A = this chain, B = another copy of it.
Amino acid sequence: MAPNDIVALLGEVGAWGVNLHDNDLVPIDATAAERDSIVRSFKKACEANGMVVPMATVSLFFHPVFRDGAFTANDPEVRSYAVQKTMRAMDIGAELGAKIFVLWGGREGVETDACRPAQDAIKRLREAVNYLCQYSIDRGYGMKFALEAKPNEPRSDIYMSTTGNYLGFIPTLDHPEMVGVNPEMAHEHMAGLNFMHAVAQAWEAGKLFHIDLNDQMPGRYDQDLRFGSANIKSSFWLVKFLEDVRYGGPRHFDAHAYRTEDYEGVKDFARGCMRTYLMLKEKACRWNQDSEIQQILAELGSEGKAPKVGKYSREGASGLLSYVFDKGKILQKRLPYERLDQLTVDLLLGAR
């Protein structure tokens, strides 16, 4: 589909924003004049459809020149080209008003670890991200970067395989305050991990700059299923988390319709993503207001007389060390998690 048609379709189904890879909009070998004309026309289409462009990104994986990676490729020329291509994509993003720039290193990985020392790949990645931060500062773009992890596919092993790895990488950068993460549900599920836990860690560290919502069964190829269509309960915990902490960023549905669909089916799919999000949001609200659920939670957090952990002090430590804990008594406190979970299932199934 042409970019302007995508904008029209999204407008029709009621979406708020749109994001595109650089080359979904501007062909990789377009002249400067072609590029300008396309961007101008797209900007108008967005305005006409009341659509914002909150985020921009760059394809560093589609063209075969990136067959061995982009920022981490063994060929220094590929690394330079990848940075140039990203700078140009940032220019387009700035022009369209994007304040978040997503970096997904689709081919930053290996089939055989013979090809490069893994620590070199990390150093190269750091060099590129540092460079791009400085470029944003230099141009006054005010952009922030959101790094997106994935464990594998299309490479056998991708460096920075989970959101956690990026959270560990960011503090080693020159401008850690400019860089956060873009967790994708399907990517974390591919490794069988609890997506909401990764999102919560990113958020708690002030690093949840963007999020990609879709769905996926664990341990499979990248499925990008309609949000909420495979794992209803995990999707619920995620929506509940985002709403409870009042996450202010866009809810980006980075999914695609089944390959069996036609144009109408793609609209069904897009509407389904948003509809299921809203249904789960409403359930999260009811969960928070359910008196039986809230009573169980209140009892779980009740405090006893034992010293608290809190902030360390020599006196506190001495008191804690000498306190005699009654393990038998602790074990008598109920943890009615089966009941709590069944109430959640009842609520999800509309039986409560």
Give the interface centre of A81, A203, A338 by most chain B CB atoms within 10 Å.
Answer: A338
Kindly specify which of A4-12, A15-23, A40-48, A163-171 makes contact with the partner chain.
A163-171
**B260 & A68 in contact (Cβ 8 Å cutoff):** yes
Q: Which of A266-315 contact B (CB under 8 A)?
A: 268-269, 271-272, 275-276, 279-280, 283, 293, 300-301, 303-304, 306-312, 314
Instruction: Give the distance to chain B from A328, nearest Cβ to Cβ, in Å.
Output: 9
* A152→B65 contact, CB < 8 A: no
Tell whether, in the assembled complex, residue B264 and residue A336 are in contact, meaning their CB atoms are under 8 Å apart: yes
Question: Across the interface, do B161 and A194 meet the contact criterion of CB distance under 8 Å?
Answer: yes
Shortest Cβ distance from A344 into B: residue: B114
* Chain B contacts for A335, CB-based, 8 A: 67-68, 74, 115, 258, 260-261, 265
Is A205 positioned at the interface, with any CB of B under 8 Å from its CB? Answer: yes
Task: Give the copy number.
Answer: 4
In Å, the complex CA distance between A231 and B203 comes to 26
Residues A259 and B218 in contact in the complex (CB < 8 Å), given A112-B337, A268-B336: no
Given A75-B333, A218-B219, is A168 in contact with B309 using a C-beta cutoff of 8 Å?
Answer: no
CB distance from A13 to the nearest CB of B (A): 12
How many Å from the CB of A256 to the closest CB on chain B?
A: 10
Decide if A306 touches B81 in the complex (CB within 8 Å): yes
Most buried by B among A245, A261, A279: A261
165-219 of chain A: CB within 8 A of chain B:
165-172, 190-194, 196-198, 200-205, 207, 217-219
| CB contact list, A317-352 vs B, under 8 A | 317, 320-321, 323, 325, 327, 330-331, 333-346, 348-351
The one of B171, B320, B334 that contacts A80, using a Cβ cutoff of 8 Å: B320
Residue among B84, B151, B197, B333 making CB contact with A321, cutoff 8 Å: B84
A232-261 contact mask (Cβ, 8 Å, vs B): 1 or 0:
110001000100110000000000011111
Assess whether A38 is interfacial by the CB under 8 Å rule.
Answer: no
> Which of B123, B229, B265, B306 is A77 in contact with, Cβ under 8 Å?
B306
Q: Bound state CA distance, A218 and B156, in angstroms?
A: 11
Q: Is A31 part of the binding interface, using a Cβ–Cβ cutoff of 8 Å?
A: no
Given that A111-B260, A119-B204 are known contacts, is A223 also in contact with B156, CB under 8 Å in the complex? yes
Q: Beyond the given A135-B317, A166-B168, A264-B336, please list 5 additional residue pairs across the A-B interface where CB-CB is below 8 A.
A: A75-B300, A152-B220, A162-B164, A162-B193, A258-B337
Give the top 10 A-B pairs by smallest Cβ distance, nearest first.
A350-B350, A167-B168, A164-B164, A164-B165, A219-B219, A134-B312, A118-B200, A221-B221, A112-B341, A171-B171
